[in-house]
């Protein structure tokens, strides 16, 4: 059998690398599709069961890991949360919660599941601390986190220069006193 020329060898390696890239892309698209379906169902349940989008005010207590919803100064819902990450309108970037020093570590510890999956399958968006993004990327990362961690839904909180994406891990109606 004749020896492979350097050009033939490079062609084979490029073909294999391209195949792996295509397989990774297909795998990522499967994760996105399953995440979108799961998140659509959880968001619908949050609205149907808890009317999350109907309240006048929300309040985030990072120390307690709690998001509350209220009307007329009366808390109606209380939700346990985890931080996914944030999107900045100013810098047009995504920043994972584990890369943000202002987030309490206990409120993003399960994001390691996503980082591990990203490392295993070379899904770079899940392993890079920050990267150029659009607002839709924030929703995409939140839906992936919601699906992989099997949480109850997503809540997006505005801040001065963008949005923080949270996962609702538990939610309950608050009974009036």
Identify any residues that bridge with 60 across adjacent strands, giving them in sequence order.
67
Give the contacts of 147 (CB within 8 A, at least 6 positions apart).
31, 34, 35, 38, 39
Do 93 and 86 contact (CB within 8 A), yes or no? no
Tens-digit pLDDT profile for residues 112-123 = 999 998 888 888
In this structure, the number of other CB atoms found within 10 A of the CB of residue 38 comes to 18
Tell me which H or E stretch contains 9. Answer: helix 6-50
Q: What is the pLDDT of residue 29?
A: 81
Locate the DSSP E strands across the chain. 57-61, 66-71, 74-88, 93-96, 130-132, 153-159, 162-173
What gap in Å lies between CA 116 and CA 86, rounded to an integer?
20
Q: What is the pLDDT of residue 69?
A: 97
What gap in Å lies between CA 126 and CA 34, rounded to an integer?
16
Q: Which residue positions in the chain have pLDDT lower than 70? A: 1-25, 177
Q: Helix (H, G, I), strand (E, B), or coil: what is residue 60?
A: strand
Q: What is the pLDDT of residue 156?
A: 97
Tens-digit pLDDT profile for residues 28-57 = 788 888 889 999 999 999 999 999 999 999
């Amino acid at each position: 059998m004749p020896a492979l020329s350097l050009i033939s060898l490079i062609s084979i390696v490029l073909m294999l690398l391209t195949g792996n890239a295509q397989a990774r892309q297909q795998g990522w698209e499967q994760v996105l599709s399953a995440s979108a379906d799961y998140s659509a169902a959880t968001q619908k349940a949050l609205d149907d069961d808890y009317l999350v989008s109907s309240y006048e005010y929300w309040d985030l207590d990072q120390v307690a890991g709690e998001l509350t919803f209220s009307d007329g100064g009366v808390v109606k819902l209380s939700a346990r949360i985890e931080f996914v990450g944030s999107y900045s309108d100013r810098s047009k970037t995504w920043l994972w919660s584990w890369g943000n020093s202002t987030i309490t570590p206990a409120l993003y510890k399960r994001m390691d599941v996503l980082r591990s999956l990203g490392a295993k399958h070379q899904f770079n968006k899940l392993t890079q601390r920050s990267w150029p993004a659009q607002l839709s990327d924030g929703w995409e990362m939140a839906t992936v986190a919601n699906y992989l961690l099997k949480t109850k839904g997503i809540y997006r909180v505005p801040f001065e220069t963008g949005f923080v994406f949270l996962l609702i891990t538990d939610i309950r109606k608050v009974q009036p006193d």
